[in-house]
Amino acid sequence: MPKKLYVVFAVVLVVAMTLAACAKTPVATQAPAATEAAATQAPAATEAPAATQAPAAKQQLEVFSWWTGGGEAAGLEAMIAIWNKQNPDIEFVNAAVAGGAGSNAKAVLATRLAAGDPPDSFQGHAGQEMIGTYVAAGQLEPLDDLYKANGWYDVFPATLIPLISKDGHPYSVPVNIHRANVLWYNPKVLAKYNVTAPTDFASWLTALAALKTAGMEAPLALGENWTEVQLWETVLIADAGADMYTKLWNGEADWNDAKVLKSIEDYNKLMEYVNSDYATLSWQDASKLVADGDAAFNVMGDWADGYFSGKVDGGNLGLTPETDYAWMPVPGTQGVYDFLSDSFNLPVGAKNRDAAIKWLTLCGSKEGQDAFNPVKGSIPARNDADKSLYGVYLQSAMADWSKDTVVGSLWHGVVANDTWKNQIATDFGAFILDKDAAKFQASMVASCAQFGPCKK
Ligand code: GAL
């Protein structure tokens, strides 16, 4: 259990629509399970011949996520395998939309929610993404009964519960804890160029410069837009420190502070060492540059561990941890866990509500979490996991989670709701092109005033 969770929700939420009526959607309004009777009962002699009856439609469960690629799809598949065993009569419809961090999925989801056509359950991050976006818009049912029935208040970290709750009611089921501030590196590349792993931001820059001088054109692998914002978020933590970083998102620290400007300027320094095609690379493409020895470093969340070490036939790289790839917190963020949590929920108007409740029960179970997380590259949200099932990186992450200072990820939904985050993404897109640090800082001041807790 983390000692400190500085994330305190800002009071920026739109007044939530009342959900009480939706929460009581009677189960009786659902079509009865179509497959049950036919399979188990012998037809009575007087019944009409089977051929004249319409074939029974199989019940379904539609689950929406963005887990289609290396590392991610394998984790979802592990959960689907349990689902299929537990629910042979309910077809799992995998509605995943490709694109890391939901870069495409979230737009598709927003359209469906606006049209009143929600999936039966969808992936969303604990924190402002869940509470300040979907709950604020009245799009989710509260899950109080499910939490009580499954004893989840006893097994999920007490610090996580407020991030999925509003007015004391929980709205989603966390399946994992991810860490965003991980520097992945290729130890063979460092050894080849006689460069030691950095210990702080300055020695990281020194290492990058040494690699470039030695002929490595782009020692820091980078990918598309959201991975760039994630990289800056970790540099901001390094330069501002955990306490100030959290206060910035809560409206208790000033975005005009010199440390914020320094983080943006430091980001610009890192950009001198990245691959020129970064805008077109997925996070897996960037990770692979490190795996292949074409780059030395990459900052990525620990889903990269699933991709590096997962099975080749599952779309992963099958590498050996500590030999083929290694890790450390982003230099300057040692002792800080930049956290996020994937969670699933029950949308208002879900077509297969009973099946969705079964899915959420699986998501919150020890069996589900211990099948999903070792493959996904995350540690379980539950505190009673079987640690022996987890690899060397994840065991180290569990140890860090229990002792580090925990802060919330910007890009992965913890500290800013989607409206604010989308504005930051737009401003960052402009900054990537003009590299104007003061201008980007001014845009952070402005977006906090417009969408965040800085508004007066
Ligand atoms: C995050 C998500 C992770 C992982 C990552 C890359 O937002 O929480 O589970 O999928 O995106 O796609």
Q: With a 6 A CB cut-off, is 413 part of the ligand 1 pocket?
A: no
> What's the pLDDT at 70?
80
User: Does 45 fall in a domain?
Assistant: no
Q: Is 42 a member of any domain?
A: no
Task: Evaluate if residue 446 carries a pLDDT over 70.
Answer: yes
Q: CB–CB of 181/330 below 8 Å?
A: yes
**Res 347: pLDDT:** 98
- Pocket of ligand 1, candidates 63, 64, 178, 409: which has the most ligand atoms within 8 Å of its Cβ, to mutate? 178
264 and 221, same domain (yes or no): yes
Measured by CA distance, the residue closest to atom 10 of ligand 1 is: 101
pLDDT for residue 50 is more than 50: no
| Cβ-contact 287, 307 below 8 angstroms | yes
Task: Identify the residue whose C-alpha is closest to ligand 1 atom 8.
Answer: 342
Q: Evaluate: CB of 305 within 6 angstroms of ligand 1.
A: no
Interval 347-390: pLDDT, tens: 999 999 999 999 999 999 999 999 999 999 999 999 999 999 99
Residue 40 falls inside a structural domain: no
Average pLDDT value for residue range 335-352: 98
Q: What is the pLDDT of residue 58?
A: 85
How far is Cα 254 from Cα 448, in angstroms, rounded to an integer?
A: 10
* Structure token pair of residue 432: 């990537």
Question: Is there a single domain that holds both residue 305 and residue 381?
Answer: no
Question: Does residue 216 lie in a domain region?
Answer: yes
- pLDDT at site 4: 44
For ligand 1, atom 7: residue with the closest CA: 101
* Residue 94: strand, helix, or coil: strand
CATH of the domain at 436: 3.40.190.10
Query: How does DSSP classify residue 135?
Result: I
Tell me: pLDDT of 103 over 60.
yes
Query: What confidence score (pLDDT) does residue 69 get?
Result: 84
The full DSSP string for 263-322 is HHHHHHHHGGGB-TTGGG--HHHHHHHHHTTS-SEEE--THHHHHHHS-GGGTS--PPBT
Q: Is 151 inside any structural domain?
A: yes
Domains of the chain: total: 2
The protein residue whose alpha carbon is closest to atom 4 in ligand 1 is 101
Residue 97: pLDDT band with limits 50, 70, 90: very high
Cα of 52 to ligand 1 centre, how many Å? 48
Q: Which residue's alpha carbon is at the smallest distance from atom 12 of ligand 1?
A: 100
Domain encompassing residue 142 = 59-176+341-400
- Ligand 1 center to 100 CA (angstroms): 6
Ligand 1 within 6 A of CB of 262: no
User: 24 in a domain, yes or no?
Assistant: no
184 lies in the same domain as 93:
no
Q: What is the pTM of this model?
A: 0.88
Instruction: For residue 157, tell me if it sits in a domain.
Output: yes
Residue nearest to atom 5 of ligand 1 (CA): 101
Do 326 and 421 belong together in one domain? yes
Give dist(CA 280, CA 341) in Å, integer: 26
User: Rounded CA gap, 270 and 208, in Å?
Assistant: 8
Mean of per-residue pLDDT scores for the chain: 90
- Helices 353-364 and 366-376 cross at an angle (nearest 10°) of 70
**Amino acid 16: pLDDT:** 33
Q: What is the pLDDT of residues 288-315, one digit of tens each?
A: 999 999 999 999 999 999 999 999 988 9
For 4-49, write each residue's pLDDT tens digit: 444 333 333 333 333 333 333 332 233 333 333 333 333 333 344 4
